[in-house]
């Protein structure tokens, strides 16, 4: 059985205090206005949340992945959009540069990203390439000492805010040696580069506070040394990035479930019908009990997977293999996100007609939850990965 350390629990308390004071009172207003609160995002950086897993040499805390998941969960407990802002800032913005960048690339971009002064995005998804990332159409061709990029990306988080400094994009840079498949590489594109445009933000069902844009690249030139990692390894880098991201999204879903449970317990104890609180009715009480079960199971699966990653990174004796971690990440993501969608439906039902009113937070969580089953790999993709991990020849 995995249990958090005392230090982890103390850290949870500090992040919860920040979330309750700096985010919770404003979340509903930000949601209505589709406002991205740059000042609060930078306060998250001041608290050290952006640099939790980054080395001290870049201003980070050199902490563990479990701590990052705790922070995402606690932010997501009050506002899912702020939770995913942190998840994407670290998992999709900082970590690819930290993991695959050259010393020069790290020194140029990481200090500001780790401090929360700037944000980075990761441009993977395209109109015709989501789960099938190998269908990427965006192209990058070497022209002298520059990469020239043409194409489009969509649904890219933290990509068009006023503090976004860079977006890493995947692009076709050629074909494999045998010509059977495209060569996909990752390239760092600084904001403001001519030919790189963050189009107007999406009008989304949920995550209204999150910064999300489609991107276009038209003869966009960046120096050849902006290649991230090895040429032709962009697809493999993306797969590794998503493994970590699935656990982080599971943590966000755990925060959603925690919020649903707390709101439901409080409301069921106060709402009076037929001479007593609705929590006395088995029809309501049993649904809330199911919420508790889903929360506990999702939390255990999520932090088990996070602890597995930390053991792998530390090279601990008996550490799990990459394939074991991938399986654990897919299981945690599938269980937690589908539970969160079910959990928000239950919470909305507990609130009855009030659950349908935007003045109650439960409505916002209901809208925010659905994307959890889609982002960082759909539920269908997770089932495919789990089946493959069992040795089944699923396509």
Query: Could you please report the per-residue DSSP string of 175-222?
Result: E-TTSSSEEEEEEEEETT-TTEEEPPPP--SS-TTS-EEEEEEEEEEE
Distance CA 154, CA 261 (A): 33
Query: Could you please report the per-residue DSSP string of 311-356?
Result: HHHHT-TTPPPHHHHHHHHHHHHHHHHHHHHHHHHHHHHHHGGGGG
What is the tens place of the pLDDT at every residue in 65-107?
Answer: 999 999 999 999 999 999 999 999 999 999 999 999 999 999 9
Q: Which among 370, 369, 376, 291 has a CA at the least distance from the CA of 332?
A: 376
Q: State residue 57's pLDDT score.
A: 97
Residue 174 pLDDT > 70, yes or no?
A: yes
What is the tens place of the pLDDT at every residue in 322-379?
Answer: 999 999 999 999 999 999 999 999 999 999 999 999 999 999 999 999 999 999 999 9
What count of other Cβ atoms lies within 10 Å of the Cβ of residue 361?
20
Q: Which among 42, 59, 15 has a CA at the least distance from the CA of 258?
A: 15
What count of other Cβ atoms lies within 10 Å of the Cβ of residue 374?
16
Q: Can you say whether the dihedral through the CA atoms of 279, 284, 290, 294 is positive or negative?
A: negative
**111 and 59 in contact (C-beta within 8 Å)?**
yes
**Domains delineated in the chain:** 6-119 (1.10.540.10), 121-231 (2.40.110.10), 235-389 (1.20.140.10)
Contacts of residue 23, Cβ cutoff 8 Å, sequence gap at least 6:
40, 75, 78, 79, 82
pTM of the shown model: 0.97
Q: 29 phi and psi, to 5 degrees?
A: -65, -45
What is the tens place of the pLDDT at every residue in 197-252?
Answer: 999 999 999 999 999 999 999 999 999 999 999 999 998 898 888 999 999 999 99
Residue 132 pLDDT > 90, yes or no?
A: no
Residue 130 pLDDT > 80, yes or no?
A: no
Percent of the chain with pLDDT over 90: 93
Contacts of residue 29, Cβ cutoff 8 Å, sequence gap at least 6:
35
What is the tens place of the pLDDT at every residue in 253-304?
Answer: 999 999 999 999 999 999 999 999 999 999 999 999 999 999 999 999 999 9
Q: Where are the beta strands (DSSP E) in the chain?
A: 119-123, 139-143, 146-157, 164-175, 182-190, 196-198, 212-223, 227-228, 272-273, 276-277
Q: Counting every residue, how long is the chain?
A: 395
Q: State residue 381's pLDDT score.
A: 95
* 189 confidence band (pLDDT: 50, 70, 90): very high
Distance CA 274, CA 283 (A): 14
**85 and 41 in contact (C-beta within 8 Å)?**
yes
Contacts of residue 293, Cβ cutoff 8 Å, sequence gap at least 6:
none
- Active-site hit among 73, 126, 373, 376: 376
Structure tokens at 174: 């050629």
Burial grade of 357 (CB within 10 A; 0-12, 13-18, 19 or more): exposed
Residue 1 pLDDT > 80, yes or no?
A: no
Residue 131 pLDDT > 90, yes or no?
A: no
Distance CA 77, CA 299 (A): 13
Q: State residue 254's pLDDT score.
A: 98
Using the structure block, give the residue that is written with the tokens 């925060």. Answer: 255
What is the tens place of the pLDDT at every residue in 138-149?
Answer: 999 999 999 999
Check if 376 is active-site.
yes
Q: Strand 227-228 to strand 182-190: parallel, antiparallel, or no bridges (unpaired)?
A: antiparallel
Residue 3 pLDDT > 90, yes or no?
A: no
What is the tens place of the pLDDT at every residue in 23-62?
Answer: 999 999 999 999 999 999 999 999 999 999 999 999 999 9
Burial grade of 354 (CB within 10 A; 0-12, 13-18, 19 or more): middle
Residue 122 pLDDT > 90, yes or no?
A: yes
Distance CA 26, CA 42 (A): 16
Q: State residue 53's pLDDT score.
A: 97
Residue 178 pLDDT > 90, yes or no?
A: no
Residue 179 pLDDT > 70, yes or no?
A: yes
What count of other Cβ atoms lies within 10 Å of the Cβ of residue 353?
6
């Amino acid at each position: 059985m995995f249990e958090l350390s005392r230090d982890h629990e103390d850290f949870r308390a500090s992040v919860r205090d920040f979330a309750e004071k700096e985010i919770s009172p404003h979340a509903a207003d930000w949601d209505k206005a589709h406002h991205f609160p740059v000042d609060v995002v930078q306060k998250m950086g001041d608290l050290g949340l952006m640099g939790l897993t980054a080395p001290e040499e870049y201003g980070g805390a050199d902490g563990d992945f479990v701590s990052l998941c705790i922070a995402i969960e606690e932010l997501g407990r009050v506002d899912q959009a702020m939770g995913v802002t942190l998840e994407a800032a670290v998992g999709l913005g900082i970590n690819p540069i930290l993991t695959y960048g050259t010393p020069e690339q790290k020194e140029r971009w990481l200090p500001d990203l780790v401090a929360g002064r700037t944000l980075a995005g990761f441009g993977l998804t395209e109109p015709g390439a989501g789960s099938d990332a190998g269908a990427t159409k965006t192209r990058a061709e070497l022209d002298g000492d520059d990469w020239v990029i043409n194409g489009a990306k969509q649904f890219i988080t933290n990509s068009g805010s006023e503090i976004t400094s860079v977006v890493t994009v995947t692009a076709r840079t050629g074909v494999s040696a045998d010509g059977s498949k495209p060569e996909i590489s990752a390239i760092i594109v600084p904001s403001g580069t001519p030919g790189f445009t963050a189009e107007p933000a999406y009008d989304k069902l949920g995550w209204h506070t999150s910064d999300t844009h489609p991107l276009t690249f038209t003869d966009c030139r960046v120096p050849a040394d902006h290649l991230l990692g090895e040429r032709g390894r962009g697809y493999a880098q993306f797969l590794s990035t998503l493994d970590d991201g699935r656990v982080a999204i599971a943590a966000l879903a755990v925060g959603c479930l925690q919020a649903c449970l707390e709101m439901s317990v409080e409301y069921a104890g106060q709402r009076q019908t037929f001479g007593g609180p609705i929590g006395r009715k088995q029809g309501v009480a049993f649904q809330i009990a199911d919420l508790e079960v889903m929360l506990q199971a999702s939390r255990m699966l999520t932090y088990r997977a996070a602890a597995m990653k930390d053991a792998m990174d530390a090279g601990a004796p008996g550490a799990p293999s990459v394939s074991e971690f991938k399986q654990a990440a897919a299981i945690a993501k599938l269980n937690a996100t589908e539970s969160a969608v079910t959990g928000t439906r239950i919470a909305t039902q507990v609130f009855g007609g009030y659950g349908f009113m935007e003045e109650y937070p439960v409505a916002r969580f209901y809208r925010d939850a659905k994307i959890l089953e889609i982002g960082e790999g759909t539920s269908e993709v997770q089932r495919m990965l789990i089946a493959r991990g069992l040795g089944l020849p699923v396509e």
